[in-house]
Structure 1
Amino acid sequence: MLHGYGSTILEGAWLTLSLALTSMTLAIALGLVGAAFRLSPLRWLALLGEGYSTIIRGIPDLVLILLIFYGGQDVVNRVAPLLGYHHYIDINPFIAGVCTMGFIFGAYLSETFRGAFMAIDKGQAEAGAAYGMSGMQVFWRVLVPQMIRFAIPGFTNNWLVLTKATALISVVGLQDMMFKAKNAADATREPFTFFLAVAALYLLLTTVSLLALRLLEKRYCVGARLAEL
């Protein structure tokens, strides 16, 4: 049915999954930093976090991908000679994809995490401080564990969107399943067959992710439900 291209597309699917997981890891880190900045009592930090979130969320993902990939490569090759390196630097599409998707979705997650932190009773942080914890200890030991329960629904939505958005990285040459399906479609002149196969793989990936994250949400809500009884 896939004219021998099935294994090739599955290899691309594994690369797509690797890209999504690595990008989300970076996005989580940037999202936490962005949320911490936006909730900071220091005005300049709050403005920096707000600017990051507003600007990135206001520009289409494809535009940002092209801007960061080609613009970033141009900047690197302009700076390299100043540091004594005179060879052309070709940025790896996977690394570029991870940095781009992580940077974009870090802005979305900063909003998700900010809302989750704001949903926590302020008395929790005050109690941690009363026990002698530092600000960082209160953040990581008291606030973050409770924040996760409130953030999971928004996180789930961002993960699903990020997973589907990985298809855009094929425009910069990453040989993910979209890239390989396009090559197979051009070779066989059967685009519907291969793009339908890719759609089915994306649907499978997002469905499994949704089920797993729903189970995670139920687990984190157990303690809260017991406390309400």
Structure 2
Amino acid sequence: MSILELLGFGADGWGGVLLLAAAMTVAVTLTALLIGALLGALIASAKLSGLRILRVAGDCYTTVFRGVPELLVIYLFYFGGSTFVTTVGRWFGAQGFIGVPPFLIGALAVGLISGAYQAEVYRAAVLAVSRGELEAARAVGMPTLLMMRRILIPQVLRFALPGIGNVWQLSLKDSALISVTGLAELLRTSQVAAGSTHQYFVFFIVGGTLYLLMTMISNRVFNHAEARVGRTFRTNFARH
């Protein structure tokens, strides 16, 4: 079978399967980024808090999840989670091993890692906001929620976007590690295709090319978002 037939969309081709696997990779990464955004915002708030216990808890979170290898985190959540669910199931009379959904566990594990990096991005973005603007808003009696909506959040978004783009790329690469759970994302599917056809070089090159393509598209999207946020910020600044 020729390479074009192997990579085609016919009955024996792997083209459609690889594209679906790439879509699965994007879905896992996007889910992980959203989980990380929520956790990152909470951890950043803790690290900026006036309470020492919250700052220590935030520091511990970022230190652990940035210091422990990503693959180990995925192993702990996948196998540890399955063991926990199986144990709980036995309490209620269930028999045998109970596995956890690979997508859910993979997205959660990568999201926890992403959250540690996003927390630092958000914290740095908040510290970059001019204190004078916030003090001026308080001086004129602007409510806290309105001040956050009109001053703090738009500027934090502006300063954080480049860092979030880097975290997205990191999470996109980390998603390849979820292949150890058996989820049919891009790396796992490339391995299966290579093993089935013995065309290892071809399918790993194709898999790497698809990763690079997703990276290039992501860069364009984030660059466009940064430019648009920058224009909006300059427009609003000129009006005021």
Deviation at 1:128, TM superposition (A): 4.3
2:143 is aligned, of 133, 154, 158, to 133
Overall identity of the aligned pairs, in %: 35
Which residue in the other structure is 2:44 paired with? 35
Q: Per-residue CA shift, 1:13-50, capped at 9, x if unaligned?
A: 11111111111111111111111110011111111111
Aligned residues: 226
Find the counterpart in structure 2 of residue 86 from structure 1: 94
Q: What CA distance in whole angstroms lies between the structure 2 residues aligned with 1:218 and 1:111?
A: 22
Q: Select the structure of larger CA radius of gyration.
A: 2
Q: CA RMSD in A?
A: 1.9
Gaps of 5+ in 2: 7-12
Name the TM-score, length of structure 2 as normaliser.
0.87
1-structure distance, mates of 2:59, 2:132: 25
User: Which secondary structure state, in structure 2, belongs to the residue aligned with residue 199 of structure 1?
Assistant: helix
Residues 112-142 of structure 1: per-residue CA shift (max 9 Å, x gap)? 11000100012333344453524x6644553
Is the 1:112–1:154 Cα contact (8 Å) retained in structure 2? Answer: yes
Quote how far apart the aligned CAs of 1:5 are.
Answer: 1.1
Question: Counterparts of 1:53 and 1:16 in 2: how far apart (Å)?
Answer: 24
Residue aligning to 2:66: 57
Q: In the aligned structure 1, how far is the partner of 2:49 from the partner of 2:182? A: 39
* 3-state secondary structure, aligned to 1:146: helix
Matching residue's letter, 2:203 = F
Would you say the 8 A contact 1:124–1:143 is kept in 2? no
Structure 1 residues without counterparts, runs of 5 or longer: none
1:194 aligns with 2:203: yes
Quick one: distance in 2 between partners of 1:16 and 1:202? 9
CA change 1:206–1:129 in 2 (3 A) is: same
1:107-122 to structure 2, matched below 5 A, reads 107-122=116-131
Answer yes or no: is the 8 Å Cα contact 2:194–2:203 preserved in 1.
Answer: yes
**Given residue 110 of structure 1, which amino acid in structure 2 is its aligned partner?**
A
Q: Which has the higher contact order (CA 8 A, sep 6+)?
A: 1
* Deviation per residue, 1:42-90 (Å, 9 max, x gap): 11111111110111101111111111111122223223444x3534431
- Tell whether the 8 Å contact from 1:160 to 1:206 is kept in structure 2 after alignment: yes
Equivalent position SS for 1:89 = coil
1:177 positional shift = 1.7
2-structure distance, mates of 1:79, 1:224: 51
